[in-house]
Amino acid sequence: MKEVGEIVSEIETPTGIYYDCEIVQISCPACGETFKGMKRSAGGFIAGHHAYHEFVNSQDLIIEAMGGV
Ligand SMILES: [Zn+2]
């Protein structure tokens, strides 16, 4: 497993080859899930959690607006 801060000179993925990738670690502020890996994938992790939590929150607001469960 790669360590945080490590620069990986070359990573081959199904979509292409990444060069000089820094390994980063981030946690979702909403649920605390943690991801470690390339920035490119970290972006997907953040975007995915953002979309997910926004969706769940909007569902909650709709339910609340309709008078609760
Ligand atoms: Zn999350």
Q: What is the CA(47)–ligand 1 centre distance, in A? A: 10
Is the model's pLDDT at 68 over the cut of 80?
no
Is residue 2 in some structural domain? Answer: no
pTM value is: 0.78
- Those residues with Cβ within 8 angstroms of residue 39's Cβ, 6 or more apart along the chain or in another chain: 21, 22, 24
pLDDT of residue 45: 97
Q: What is the CA(46)–ligand 1 centre distance, in A? A: 8
Q: Collect residues with CB below 5 Å from ion ligand 1.
A: 28, 30-31, 49
Sign of CA dihedral 4, 6, 12, 15: positive
Say how many domains are in the chain: 1
Do the beta carbons of residue 18 and residue 38 sit within 8 Å?
yes
| 4-46: pLDDT as tens digits | 999 999 999 899 999 999 999 999 999 999 999 999 999 999 9
Is residue 69 in some structural domain? Answer: no
pLDDT of residue 46: 97
pLDDT of residue 48: 97
Is residue 47 in some structural domain? Answer: yes
Given pLDDT bands bounded at 50, 70 and 90, which one contains residue 69?
A: low
Paired tokens of 11: 């990573």
Nearest to 43 by CA among 57, 22, 58: 22
